[in-house]
Amino acid sequence: MNRLQNKVALVTGSTRGLGRAIATLFGEEGAKVAVTGRTVEDGRKVVASIRHAGGTAEFIRLDQADEQSVKDAMEQVVSLFGKLNVLVNNAAPTEFITGSGTGNLADKVDDIVTEISTENWRKVTLPSIDGLFWCLKYGIPKLQAAGGGSIINISSTASIRSTRGMDAYTASKGAMNALTASVASNYRPTIRCNTLVAGLFATEGLAPLLADPVLDAAFKNVVLTPRIGDPRDIAYAATFLASDESAYITGQLIPVDGGIGTYMPIPKVEAAK
């Protein structure tokens, strides 16, 4: 407990999924947490949960597809808490990638490059690439004003191995990976920047797919651990990177994926008779 005492953290996309787990654990570890997202009601529920557990949190509405919204959020966190020490770039437009927040792949707009429209490409990349840029552009000066801090990006194994039908998302997370070392280098020595490369996690968006026994078995077949990830798994890694325990770690891509990035299942082939 209290590994993040006296730190102020802003977690983008923290009204659900991995972001909510990160914000919740940060609160448990003593940080003052800015919960952000587009849905006010969901954000207030997360804040209430953190406060109920004894933590400190406030909700700030942040839409990563809107530059002014990002800029205002960075100003607001400092207004509320006096500083910013930890910036977690987690938000992604999952409704366009996995389908309307329902996990129904038929509802998604992301696709392979020859099939996705320019409009749909921008729906995914505007908040994911431009939004990341704006978070860094307006967040880094706040970290600098506090004497430095930690930037934690949440990427995906889709950025390093092919995932059919997710080319806009793949490009977005690839850009995040590429910026990691650049930011770490350009803003050293007081600001650290690392990226957690996330694998399969049992979030709301994936839940409908996991309910299908065939898909559930397929997902479990590509991880080397006994289960797919729980959102707390990524939260533990983020907490380490937010804490002073990771002071000597920067510019790194760190897999939190159950080994999926190192393993390619090979189908069994019946021997010829």
What span, in angstroms and rounded, lies between the C-alpha atoms of 255 and 213? 26
Q: Is the dihedral of CA 231, 168, 66, 79 positive or negative?
A: positive
pLDDT value of position 99: 63
Average pLDDT over residues 219-239: 89
What pTM, to 2 d.p., does this model score? 0.91
Would you state the structure tokens that stand for residue 116, as one six-digit string?
Answer: 């996705």
Q: For 134-176, how does the pLDDT look when each residue is reduced to its tens digit (9 = 90+)?
A: 999 999 999 999 999 999 999 999 888 877 788 999 999 999 9
Average pLDDT over residues 242-255: 98
Q: Which of 67-81, 107-121, 152-166, 188-202 has the highest mean pLDDT?
A: 67-81
Q: How many CB atoms sit inside 10 A of residue 46's CB? A: 24
| Chain mean pLDDT for the chain | 90
Strands (E), the chain: 8-11, 32-37, 56-61, 86-89, 149-156, 191-198, 253-256
Q: Could you give the 3-state DSSP secondary structure of residue 53?
A: coil
- Kindly list the catalytic residues: 169
Q: Higher confidence at residue 195 or residue 225?
A: 195
Average pLDDT over residues 110-136: 95
What span, in angstroms and rounded, lies between the C-alpha atoms of 210 and 24? 24
Please provide the DSSP assignment of 173-185 as one string. HHHHHHHHHHHHH
State yes or no: pLDDT of 44 exceeds 90.
Answer: yes
Average pLDDT over residues 211-221: 72
The interaxial angle of helices 67-81 and 131-145, nearest 10 deg, is 30
What lies within 8 Å, CB to CB, of 11 at 6+ separation is 19, 22, 23, 26, 33, 34, 35, 36, 88, 90
Q: For 10-22, how does the pLDDT look when each residue is reduced to its tens digit (9 = 90+)?
A: 999 999 999 999 9
pLDDT value of position 273: 46
Average pLDDT over residues 84-104: 77
